[in-house]
Amino acid sequence: MTNVAEELRSYWNDRGPVWVEYRERLDGMLAPLGEAAVARLHPDPGEHVLDIGCGTGTTSLELARLVGASGHVIGVDVSAPMLDEARRRAADAGLDNTSFVVADAGAHQFEPRHYDGAFSRMGIMFFAEPVAGFANLRRALRPGGRLSFVCWRSPSENSWVTEPGQAVAEVLGPPAPMDPDAPGPFSLASADRISSILTEAGLVDIDITPHDLPLSIGIGATDELVRYYLDLLPATAIPENAEVHVIDRVKAALGAMVERRRTPDGITMGGAAWLVSARA
């Protein structure tokens, strides 16, 4: 599992600048999901909160505003480039009750029994060893401390990922099947698996609620949106030696998909997630 953790760390550091570049578009898409999970956590002034997989810091800054000057938020992520952006934004906002740590939250040695809450917006599905990772968070929480996170349900329920995937597959064929339980955006797609992991990790009062909503991909010219999709595709999605005419066909397929989805308000696609809460 150590190799898996190292591979994930390498991936998110290599890809971090891309996520920084598209921060505003990604935040626009994910904001309603984060807001629903924050509402479940209900952070109070003076509380200490962990933000797991905080990325460029959008949720950390929101949590910091909610806990106020007497509270504190620690954003944790393996991606140094994204945390550099998070620190810059926190400084610009004058939020000195926020700090950021480059670390794997599933293994990092947090101060034990210290935090009132742990939160994650789509950043908690990447633990190399999920039971150990959630147990590590439980140890960091004070007795009765709250965990609240949002994660994706299955890919088939999320057209924001299936439709671009189908467009690429029209040209390159279907991708190789992946282990659904391997660390990745859909590793917690099963409610039964989430419940089993959290229970084994020692968490209690587990609640797993489906949450469906349209997700805004935003506005922009077709070429701009095609580039966005290409930049966010897994590195293995298009072979390194793919010829120019093949890449052009992929771009055309993605462009057609974008135009099918275009409305006067931009591109909107279906999203399906789990809202999960538990206590230490």
Task: Locate 71 and state its tokens.
Answer: 């509270």
160-217 pLDDT tens trace: 999 999 999 999 888 888 888 899 999 999 999 999 999 999 999 999 999 999 999 9
- The whole domain housing 87 covers 2-155+181-214+271-279
**Is 238 within the bounds of a domain?**
no
- Please list, in sequence order, all residues whose beta carbon lies within 8 angstroms of the beta carbon of residue 251, skipping any fewer than 6 positions away: 226, 230
- Among residues 107, 113, 153, which one has the least CA distance to residue 130? 107
122-157 pLDDT tens trace: 999 999 999 999 999 999 999 999 999 999 999 999
142 close to 114: Cβ distance less than 8 angstroms = yes
**Is 15 within the bounds of a domain?**
yes
CATH number for 105: 3.40.50.150
44 close to 67: Cβ distance less than 8 angstroms = yes
Return the pLDDT at 239: 77
Which pLDDT band holds residue 236 (cuts at 50, 70, 90)? Answer: low
Please state the pTM of the whole predicted model.
Answer: 0.94
Return the pLDDT at 235: 61
pLDDT exceeds 60 at position 101: yes
Tell me how crowded residue 60 is: count the other CB atoms within 10 A of its CB: 30
272 close to 154: Cβ distance less than 8 angstroms = yes
Helix (H, G, I), strand (E, B) or coil at 177: coil
**Is 223 within the bounds of a domain?**
no
Give percent above pLDDT 90 in the chain: 83
Least confident of 86-100, 138-152, 253-267: 253-267
